Structure 1
Amino acid sequence: MIEGIFVEGLIYAIMALGVFFTFRVLDFPDLTVDGSFPMGAVIMAALLHKGVSPFFALFLSFSGGVAAGCVTAAIHNKLKVPHLLAGILTMTMLYSVNIRILSNRANLPLIRVDTLLTQMHELTKAILAPEYASLIFFVIVVLLIKKALDIFFITDMGLVFGALGNNEQMVRVQGINPATLKLIGVGISNGLVALSGAFAAQYQGFADVNLGQGIVVSGLASVMLGEFMLKSNKISILTLRVVLGAILFKAIMFLGRYYGYYINMTPNDLKLIAGILIIASLAAANLKKIKSKGN
């Protein structure tokens, strides 16, 4: 049970890191996430059914997410469409694209299909139970992705991304094209989200075009919960608290799912809880700002 919470939290932490990139670093509210998450899942499932290597399928899932993010950024840059509307347009179109990828089906099971997780379980079955093998695997994956982001954000390009989120005009003055940065940044963000979707499909044993419903809310809740756990401006701590926030969010959802009946709560209320968590986080942040100004 506890292992499952951590595994799901780590899988969704990859998605939350992508959301962190757009919402916190780029200051680009992006709703493409609700479409790129299931896109990663359906690409992974469709390719696995065709016998494609799980590693290559992961790469193509990531690439599909990058392409989706680039479409959103291009709509925003070229047509001067606001961030939110550009994301909504891409998210809406991706629903049909995802259906097409699954050959006009809404879902695709991965039972009796060789996945990355089944291969890993087969290799470690002599020394580890499947749940612990999955936990160790995703700890390693998330740590590698986190470390890669930490290194990226302290490079010259990474620092420019941070500057873009704080002051776009200053970036223009330096002779850098913000449109190009947004294209790259939103692409990388949705690539991570799609990668998370690909892992989620393998872990859950199926891909569904509705997997991404409300994912952006989950990502935002994870980011905001993490911000209350650790206080720092150091990038390694910022990414760490996103990971911790995702695990905490999944733990809260687990408690609501399994023990909510004591207060007459059903699984249908979980999205309400996620929304309330975000509102409470925003309210607490605003209250903290008011208090700091008063002092």
Structure 2
Amino acid sequence: MLNILLGAVSLGLIWAVMTIGVYITFRILEIADLTVEGSITTGAAIASYSIYSGMNPFAATLLALLGGMAAGLVTGIFHTKLQIPALLSGILTMIGLYSVNLHIMGKATISLLRIDTVYTGLENIGLNHTNSVILFALIFVIGLVSILYWFFGTEIGCAIRATGTNFQMARAQGINTNNMIMLGLVISNGLVALCGALIAQSQTYADIQMGIGSIVIGLASVIIGEVIFASRNFFKKLLTLVLGAIIYRVIIAFVLWLGMPANDLRLFTALTVAAALSLPMFKAYLRPVKKSIKEEV
């Protein structure tokens, strides 16, 4: 059971990178961006092919980040320059990325068995693969949260947050909202692709289908983190996303351990997200009931 738990934590820490990316579009910009289902595979494809071809794994991971940012830029252009609705823009990019990813990989799957990855250095000092992933991902996520907290406190970062909070007011204050939306999408999909690169190196392969359902996983992690660890402080919000991703993975590992068929995982995830999203409604419904009970007493 301990090995299952450690495996869930390692996956949760990696998926936390994508969760933060989803949070940027879903909560900060208030855009439902489906590009992530393609850009996570793009990151995995670029990193895996580059490493397989002999590139340094850290350079390959950085290249994956740039590939994801390019995907986000395309979605941003569709939405802001061509006036295509945000949801449809993400879908169009996602569909196009499927072919792009196939061209990058050259085949449906790339194996990274017995090839050095970003985790190899930690494995060489005696750590097993799972512990190496946990340590690397933990350091990486802490650094990422710190950088993003600093960035969203800068003038540009505040402009992105203002654009999502009140589009009209931000424009009235002289903010180029189109540029801020594009920048938010670029950052978001860059992080998602980075997550894909880390996942591929962790599981030692990249697959063309690995992005299917990733948006639901990201949303589930965001909602779980927000519901369990509600906070108004932005730094704490970023930390709750990490915790939400870990808790989601632990829940999945637990239900699998109890015997749930793997084929039902997508359904379970969808129901989890639906339940989490509907919690505010249930809380609002229960509040008058509690109030009436107190009055009767």
AA aligned opposite 1:180: N
1:278 corresponds to 2:270: no
- How far is the alpha carbon of 1:133 from its aligned partner? 2.6
1:165-204: CA deviations, max 9, x gaps?
1110011111111110011110000000000000000000
Matched residues in 2 for 1:243 and 1:293: separation?
A: 33
SS of residue in 1 equivalent to 2:119? helix
- The alignment of Structure 1 onto Structure 2 pairs a total of residues equal to 287
- How far is the alpha carbon of 1:289 from its aligned partner? 4.0
Alpha-carbon spacing, 1:290–1:163, altered in 2? closer, same or farther (3 Å): farther
- How far is the alpha carbon of 1:293 from its aligned partner? 8.2
1:144-184: CA deviations, max 9, x gaps?
11111111111122122111111100111111111100111
Residue equivalent to 1:209: 208
Q: How much identity, in percent, do the aligned residues show?
A: 41
1:287 corresponds to 2:251: no
Residue equivalent to 1:160: 159
Query: Conserved in 2, the CA contact under 8 Å of 1:256 and 1:267?
Result: no
Matched residues in 2 for 1:158 and 1:233: separation?
A: 17
TM-score, structure 1 normalization: 0.94
Alpha-carbon spacing, 1:163–1:290, altered in 2? closer, same or farther (3 Å): farther
Alignment of 1:127-276 (within 5 A): 128-259=127-258, 261=259, 265-276=260-271
Alignment of 1:34-183 (within 5 A): 34-103=37-106, 105-122=107-124, 124-125=125-126, 128-183=127-182
Alpha-carbon spacing, 1:10–1:158, altered in 2? closer, same or farther (3 Å): same
Residue equivalent to 2:35: 32
1:44-71: CA deviations, max 9, x gaps?
0100011111111111100000000110
AA aligned opposite 1:237: K
SS of residue in 2 equivalent to 1:116? coil
- How far is the alpha carbon of 1:119 from its aligned partner? 3.0
Matched residues in 2 for 1:247 and 1:229: separation?
A: 12
Matched residues in 2 for 1:280 and 1:211: separation?
A: 25
- How far is the alpha carbon of 1:292 from its aligned partner? 6.0
AA aligned opposite 1:254: A
Alpha-carbon spacing, 1:292–1:82, altered in 2? closer, same or farther (3 Å): farther
Matched residues in 1 for 2:112 and 2:39: separation?
A: 19
- How far is the alpha carbon of 1:256 from its aligned partner? 2.2
Matched residues in 1 for 2:284 and 2:158: separation?
A: 26
- How far is the alpha carbon of 1:290 from its aligned partner? 4.8
Matched residues in 2 for 1:290 and 1:167: separation?
A: 28
TM-score, structure 2 normalization: 0.93
Residue equivalent to 2:294: none
Structure 1 stretches lacking a partner, 5+ long: none
AA aligned opposite 1:70: L
SS of residue in 1 equivalent to 2:226? helix
Q: Root-mean-square deviation (CA), in Å?
A: 1.4
1:213-259: CA deviations, max 9, x gaps?
00000000000000112121100111011000000111111122222
Alpha-carbon spacing, 1:160–1:107, altered in 2? closer, same or farther (3 Å): same
